[in-house]
Structure 1
Amino acid sequence: MSRLVMSLYTSFIFVLMLLIPASAVAKSTYSVGIEAYETVQYQPVRGDKYQPLIEELLEAFALEEGIKINYQALPAEQYQDWFEQHSIDFRFPDNPKWTNWSHTLFYSQAVISFCDVTRVLPENNWMRKPDISRLGTLPNHPLSNDWIRQVKKGYSTVHEYQTAAQLVHALISGDVDAILAEHSQVDDGVAQLALGSDVLAPSQFIPDIKDDLRISSELYPAMLEKFDQYIKTHQAFITQIARRHGIDNGRACTQTGAHNQSELAE
């Protein structure tokens, strides 16, 4: 090979390297931002029950891929700015419906499912969403589009409570008309207050909704695709971890159809 040809070949390879997107550059260690109330970093991450589940799952995946995972506990109130303010490669939990991020984000398939429920007092099970002027939630619980529209129009106000017990107590005390939370969080609040299982009721017109938690990334869609394949082929393993942490993986969520109602559509 002549010196000229070698020089042209080298230049061509260099140009190709410049064109390779950042997402294709392999790394040996990846950083995952995890929602936590504390602002310090933990290893391993501690917090609500979904965190040890994702940690076990990611560690098993990392072992198979030959990579390392670092966890960065980040404040929930800065959630929408995590990618902008912190050097993280992935974010958990996430869902395409939650974010206001203006850049392109890539999402994994569902890692874990949960049941989003609205609960009222039994005597108020006639309530539709437009009848609920005061809605109780836990911090950073995502609102569906119809709830957001009601709040923007001034029909409903959202009241946040720090714990599941405080949330349930607010409904029992009449401070809110309804509460919105993950199914097991409501059950935990009822149990912590030593209340009977019939103290709360679903609305006849607001169905429980099965939703999911995912991992997102700005730069590593290829790694998310590998993780998706891992999820697909390790369902039994995920079920085992979920049961160990008391997560029903959305099984308790009954997809009941709403009765005749006039509600804001998604």
Structure 2
Amino acid sequence: MRPLLPFLAGLLLLSAFSVQADTFKVGVELQPYMPYSDVQNGQYMGYGRDLLDAFAAQQGHVFLYEPLPVRRLLSDFLSGRVDFKYPDNPRWNADLKQDHTLYFSQAAAPAIDGVLVKPQFLGQGKARLKRLGTQRGFTPWPYLDDIKAGKILLIQANQIDSLLAMALSDRVDGVYLNPQVVQHQLYNTAGNEALVFDPSLAYEDDHYFLSSIKYPEVIKQFDAFLNKEAKLVQALKERHGIVNPLKGR
């Protein structure tokens, strides 16, 4: 019996590992959104990829990333064709999610959404915002009442670079987007100070989360990872230049 003990122990170890080493499909956004994420040649990359890969490696999971257009991503997630959605937020498309039980992780990244204007218009207030641009599928929550009342005309575009071109050519008075994404987009084109975040205008100070319908236990594992590996998570944020522009982190 004694020679069998190491063999049996090895089987038990292998069995334990196989339970943990699950393969999951993670739905991600098919759009340039650096420094948070991007998809090049079909490969998901950026902060989101590094963060999720680090978690998967620690847990022994395998994550397969499925880049999808934003609207289809939500549809595939709710129908169960992907196991997780990143990024996600409880407020996004809440009406479409209400018939499903979703599990959200702790905050995985800070995310400010606000209005960016030309530097000469900084601090001039909401009164000059007659035309506000945003990406199709985005909801400019602080301005919905003014949009519904006809005080602000909402102009949407599929691509961020199209919105930035509108702002730079004064076809819109400002764009409602994530300031870090805008600065990254402008860095090698018009100059990263061509449009600036105006904190005097209403904005959303929020976060991105990992979500799942089918695997709440993995969401709990991810929460534990975020807490236990806080230094690693912070290092990843710093490596990718992800900070809260209001708090500097």
Which bin holds the TM-score, normalised by the shorter protein? Answer: 0.7 to 0.9
In 2 relative to 1, CA 57–99 (structure 1 residues): closer, same or farther, beyond 3 Å? same
Number of positions where the alignment pairs a residue of Structure 1 with one of Structure 2: 221
1:125–1:53 Cα change, 3 Å = closer
Partner in structure 2 of residue 9 of structure 1: none
Alignment partner, residue 207 of structure 2: 212
Partner in structure 2 of residue 263 of structure 1:
none
Note the 1:65-104 alignment, pairs <5 A.
65-100=59-94, 101-102=97-98, 103-104=100-101
Q: 1:54 aligned to 48, 51, 54, which one?
A: 48
Alpha carbons of structure 1 residues 69 and 122: separation in structure 2 relative to 1, 3 Å: closer
Q: 2:183 aligns with which of 187, 190, 214?
A: 187
Cα pair 2:26 2:66 within 8 Å, conserved: yes
Taking a change above 3 Å as real, the CA distance of residues 192 and 208 of structure 1, as seen in their structure-2 partners, is: farther
Deviation at 1:242, TM superposition (A): 2.7
Structure 2, unmatched stretches of 5+, are: 1-18, 33-38
Say which one has the larger Rg: 1
1:135 CA displacement: 0.9
Moved more, 180-189 or 218-227: 180-189
Distance (Å, rounded) in 1 between the aligned partners of 2:219 and 2:53: 14
Deviations 1:181-214 (A, max 9, x none): 11122223443433473x4455473155432111
- Give the Cα separation in 1 of the matches to 2:220 and 2:28: 20
Out of 127, 132, 152, which is 2:148 matched to? 152
Whether 2:234 is the aligned partner of 1:239: answer yes
Indicate how the Cα distance of structure 1 residues 33 and 62 shifts in structure 2: closer, same or farther if over 3 A, else same: same
Distance 2:161 2:136 in 1: 13
TM-score of the aligned structures, taking structure 2 as reference length: 0.74
Q: Which amino acid aligns with 1:93?
A: P
User: Take 2:110 and 2:225, find their aligned partners in 1: how far apart are those partners?
Assistant: 16
Tell me, yes or no, if the aligned pair for 1:46 and 1:52 is still in contact at 8 Å.
Answer: no
Quick check: 1:36–1:73 contact (8 Å CA) kept in 2? yes
Q: Tell me which amino acid in the other structure corresponds to 2:216.
A: P
Residues 200-232 of structure 1 deviation map (CA, whole Å, 9 limit, x = unaligned): 455473155432111111122221111101011
Identity %: 24
Distance 1:222 1:196 in 2: 41
**1:74–1:202 CA distance, 2 compared to 1 (3 A):** closer
> Is the aligned partner of 1:228 residue 2:223?
yes
Q: Secondary structure at the match of 1:54?
A: helix
Question: Are 2:141 and 1:141 aligned?
Answer: no
State the match for 1:261 in structure 2.
Answer: none
Rounded Cα–Cα distance in structure 2 between residues aligned with 1:196 and 1:222: 41
Give structure 1 stretches of 5+ with no counterpart.
1-24, 256-266
Provide the alpha-carbon RMSD of the alignment. 3.2
Check if 1:34 corresponds to 2:22: no
Matched, 1:63 2:57: yes
Report if aligned partners of 1:108, 1:225 keep a CA contact under 8 Å in 2: yes
Check 1:187–1:64 CA distance in 2 against 1; reply closer, same or farther (3 A cut).
Answer: closer
Q: Distance in 2 between matches of 1:163 and 1:253?
A: 26
Whether the aligned pair in 2 keeps the contact of 1:34 and 1:45 (CA below 8 Å) is: no
User: Given residue 212 of structure 2, which amino acid in structure 1 is its aligned partner?
Assistant: S
Q: Give the secondary structure class of the aligned counterpart of 2:46.
A: helix
Structure 1: distance between partners of 2:192 and 2:223: 40
C-alpha distance 247-174 of structure 1, shift in aligned 2 (>3 A): same
Per-residue CA deviations over 1:97-154 (Å, capped at 9, x if unaligned) read 113312221100111113323122345445544652311123433432x323333333
Match of 1:260 in 2: none
Q: Give 1:105's aligned amino acid.
A: L
